Chain A
Amino acid sequence: MGMPPLISLEHVSFSYRDPQGKTYPVLHDLSLNIEEGNLVAVVGANGSGKTTLIRHLNGLLLPDQGRVQVCGLDTHSAAGRQAIHQQVGMVFQHPEDQIIASTLEDEAAFGPENLGLPPAEIQARVEEALRTVGLWEVRQRPPHLLSAGQEQRLALAGVLAMRPRCIVFDEATTMLDPAGRRMALEWMRRLHAEGLTILYVTHHMEEAVLAERVLVLEQGRIVRDGPPPEVFADPGALAALGLEPPPAAALAARLRPYLPGLPSNILRPEDLQEGIGRIFREQTTDDGQQTTDDGPWSVVRRPSPNSLFSFPISVSHLSHTYLLGTPLAHPALSDVSLEIGPGRSHGLLGRTGSGKSTLLQHLNGLLRPQSGKVQVGELDLSDPAVLTRSVIQAVGTVFQNPEMQFFEQYVGDEIAYGPRQFPSAEALAERVRAAMDLVGLDFETFKDRLLFTLSGGEKRKVALASALAVRPAVLLLDEPTAGLDPQSHREILARLKQLQAGGMTLVLSSHRMEDLAEMVVDLTLFEEGRVEASAPLAQVFGQARLLEVAGLEQPLAVQAAGWLRAQGWSVPEDVMTPDRLIQVVASLAVPPVERQP
């Protein structure tokens, strides 16, 4: 027998109770051991019980039945829980809500202070923790002025200062940009290498494959438990669980019919790169399959066909400073110029805090230019006589985490809010129904549902419908798919594409390169409030260096196209999406069956 497990759950069941005494079972007879030094990913659809499970790991929740032991201590005992809080640290999804103090050093000190350590010891730990996450230099900053990435690093520092043996990350990367996400994953790896036990909950399968062990939850039970290659081996089974294979595995599976030499165990982008490299080294002598004919496929993306009601938006030399004229003033945009052509959906990318959200709020008139000009169709937004109300009738907005800004109780009322402000001849119910149709929510089923009873994906659809109910010609979307599980993510994207096909122009700010590649015609890259590039999609995504400087990476399909090109395939430069890549490869490769007539 080896060492006893660090954390063990035995036959744990747990239900939530609402005030009426009704119970909602979440975990069912769940048993699990976490060994010291493990690196574990926890995946599952929204509502599968992931958060409830991990809150059992440090005694934040106590099982109704069964028991949880951490380092041999039972979470049911109050004395044990104190030690457990110190041993198992937790980083939550919304960084700003877990920050308690008004300066970074006070924040990092909060945990050790609760342990009753002497001041010198606390000070040493605070310095160590803040240095580790790279925030020591700004230790006196008030936390509400940090970016989401910095906030999450601060949350991690607060946990590190307690010197735990295990750290649990509950969707801690959800609110982060790609650079922040990579950094968070890098820390998990590093802390794991230093001997800590790491657990993380994620909706991103490309993050899950980095673990040693993946736990898949469905309806409060662990339905898969094993190393990533085993868990992700069967795409069909994953789909049934509301999950999907990691993007590299999915792309490899689609390429394999044309590139039969591609190994079957591809999970990470690196695996795919290596796989592509290997088969071509083997096959170069095979036959001259590398045609240079890229004629029929070199179509340039066109603006959506039905753009009759659209109008151009132009921004020139726009600058904006928040809290202008106070000691807390910080610039958000400086000298930004860009054009959004009629019907040309536009993507905004860049780090958190690089100015994307601030720009979006200038396009619907919520913020007015401090200097520079914003022109939306006929409306000059520098003119105070131009009412915000008249701008938003043409330009709808879905903010980041729209669920957090719902202000009604029922679905129908929430969606009706906009139309109520702009009465028209059409009946209110009809306008609500039309908006719900657009996002695929059934009017009769959903109009009287309470908002808080909806799933994450349904809430996002309500937010979308609320913006559509005013019938704008342009829709601004700030991170429309953040925090959704894979299935909801796919559904929302499909709805947005439908809107585009119906003639709507989307202005989309997103950290997901793949989403942008699917949806937009032009892209603007922001860095520290400035425009680094504003050009057609392929021109921006084609420049790996430019993206790298902004902490971003090319979409996987673009990378894969590059790897194929390096092998001598004439994949055109405008390949941005998996669909296009497969088309091109299919046209270039000689299918294996036809090779031997």
Chain B
Amino acid sequence: MSQFEFMRSLNIGQYLPLGSPIHRLDPRARLLAYFFLLIGLVFTRSGLGLLLGGLATLVLLRLARVPLRFALRGLLGPLPFLLILAVLQVFINAQPDTGPQFFRIGSLVVGLSDLWLGLLLLGRFFGLILLLSLGSFTLSTGELTLGLGYLLRPLARLGLPAHDFVMMLQVSLRFLPLLAQSAERIAKSQAARGADWDARGGNLLARVRRIIPVVVPLFLVSLRRAENMALAMDARGYGSVELRTSRIALKASLRDWAFGITIFLLSVGIILI
């Protein structure tokens, strides 16, 4: 294992060309289905709903032939932050303390309901991260821009820069692995000159102290790379015509409709449950 393989903990932003039945669906059907599930996971208030949503995501990952261990590892990176959020959620009482008490510290009363809310928050974020990973594993940038461009057409008709928005999204996704690569190089060049990367893990403060010197040059490097990329896009005629076309011809089949509708119904169920 290497402490420098930042790419390892980066799931979002990687497309996996696995050629699964999911990959073969119409990009619009996939986008809509993921969107429905997202709404479901965000708005459901019940634990059962979250469980259902999470399971559905896992099933889709399986169908997409993504190794589950790989997908689950994506949860490890943000885990410390999520735990902090969950703890905060437990202590910041949103609910009046009517239920049974769990424990108390001084005047702070933590009820079972608070604990439950913390768990829900954790579950919700796990589900969302898995769903986002699923999206990036199964949608290539071409499919994403095409599908999203199509779905956002009504906005474009209203005169909003929907296409630029879609392109921004595509470029950001492409940039994620580049960021990981640049960060890796900078960290290595600092370590090669004495920065202390030996201490595995360490406390949070030590880790933050190690990361900060990487972040500033990372910004500078990224700005330069962004400039290069803009130049390359310009040179290949981005923005020459009003409406970009795509290499993929959109064609929704019965299967795509069935998929979209199934997930839609499931998501409605998740919210209502």
Contacts and interface: CB of A to CB of B under 8 A. Distances in A.
B193 A421 contact: yes
A117 B229 contact: no
B174 A327 contact: no
B268 to A, nearest CB: 32
Nearest to A118: B245
Interface string B6-26: 011000001111110000000
Contacts of A214: none
Interface string A103-128: 10110011111111111101100100
Interface stretch (A231-239, A253-261, A403-411, A516-524): A403-411
B142 A106 contact: yes
Nearest to A94: B228
Contacts of B198: 387-389
A417 B192 contact: no
Contact of B197 (A118, A388, A397): A388
Interface string A365-382: 011100000000000000
B229 A97 contact: yes
Given A102-B15, A466-B193, A85 B235 contact: yes
Contacts of A155: 232
Interface string A293-329: 0000000000000000000000000000011111110
Contacts of A342: none
A363 to B, nearest CB: 11
Interface stretch (B75-83, B109-117, B152-160, B213-221): B213-221
Given A323-B8, A326-B8, A103 B192 contact: no
A111 B236 contact: yes
Interface in B144-198: 170-171, 173-174, 177-178, 181, 185-186, 188-198
B229 A116 contact: no
A404 B192 contact: no
A422 B185 contact: no
B254 interface: no
Given A97-B228, A392-B192, A418-B194, A119 B177 contact: no
Q: Which of A90, A113, A366, A387 has the most CB of B within 10 A?
A: A113
B258 interface: no
B239 A114 contact: yes
Contact of A114 (B14, B70, B244): B244
A361 B189 CA distance: 10
Contacts of B5: 322-323
Contacts of A122: 245-247
B192 A396 contact: yes
Which of A86, A112, A159 has most B Cβ within 10 Å?
Answer: A112
Interface string A424-443: 00000000000000000000
Given A103-B141, A323-B5, A366-B4, A399 B192 contact: yes
Contacts of A119: 245-249
B238 interface: yes
A412 to B, nearest CB: 15
A397 B192 contact: yes
A329 to B, nearest CB: 10
A101 interface: yes
B272 interface: no
Nearest to A144: B177
A101 B237 contact: no
A364 interface: yes
B248 to A, nearest CB: 6
Report, as a range, how many residues of chain B touch the other chain. Answer: 35 or more
Contacts of A393: 194
Interface string A24-60: 0000000000000000000000000000000100101
A387 B194 CA distance: 11
A566 B190 CA distance: 51
Given A90-B235, A97-B228, A114-B238, A102 B174 contact: yes
Nearest to B143: A106
Given A89-B236, A322-B5, A113 B229 contact: no
B237 A111 contact: yes
Contacts of A404: 185, 221
B174 A100 contact: yes
A102 B140 contact: yes
Contacts of B247: 105-106, 109, 112-113, 119, 122-123, 126
B7 A100 contact: no
B249 A389 contact: no
Given A85-B236, A100-B170, A388-B198, A113 B244 contact: yes
A109 B241 contact: no
Interface residues of A, number: 76
A402 B192 CA distance: 12
B41 to A, nearest CB: 24
A158 interface: yes
Contacts of A82: 237, 240-241
B200 to A, nearest CB: 8
Contacts of B236: 85, 89, 110-111, 114, 158-159, 162
Contact of B246 (A89, A109, A144, A366): A109
A368 B189 contact: no
Interface string B234-264: 1111111111111111000000000000000
In this complex, the member of B5, B19, B195, B237 whose beta carbon has the largest number of chain A beta carbons within 10 angstroms is B237
Contacts of A103: 15, 17, 140-142
A100 B231 CA distance: 11
A97 B225 contact: yes
A5 interface: no
Contacts of B19: 140
A100 B191 contact: no
A266 interface: no
A507 interface: no
A53 to B, nearest CB: 15
A473 interface: no
B212 to A, nearest CB: 11
A470 B246 contact: no
Nearest to B213: A407
A417 B231 contact: no
B14, B240, B249: residue with the most chain A Cβ atoms closer than 10 Å: B240
A204 to B, nearest CB: 22
B134 to A, nearest CB: 14
A470 B191 CA distance: 13
B173 to A, nearest CB: 6
A60 B241 contact: no
Nearest first, the 7 A-B pairs at minimum CB distance are A421-B194, A106-B142, A140-B17, A98-B232, A97-B228, A407-B217, A116-B241
Interface of A: 55, 58, 60, 82, 85-86, 89-90, 92, 94, 96-103, 105-106, 109-120, 122-123, 126, 140-142, 144, 155, 158-159, 162, 322-328, 361, 364, 366-368, 387-389, 392-393, 396-397, 399, 402, 404-407, 417-418, 420-422, 466-467, 470
26 contacts: A85-B237, A96-B181, A97-B232, A98-B229, A100-B141, A100-B174, A101-B142, A106-B140, A106-B141, A106-B143, A110-B238, A113-B245, A114-B240, A116-B241, A122-B245, A126-B247, A140-B140, A162-B236, A162-B237, A324-B1, A328-B16, A368-B2, A388-B198, A407-B190, A407-B216, A467-B192
Given A100-B174, A407-B216, 5 more contacts: A92-B228, A99-B174, A392-B193, A397-B192, A417-B193
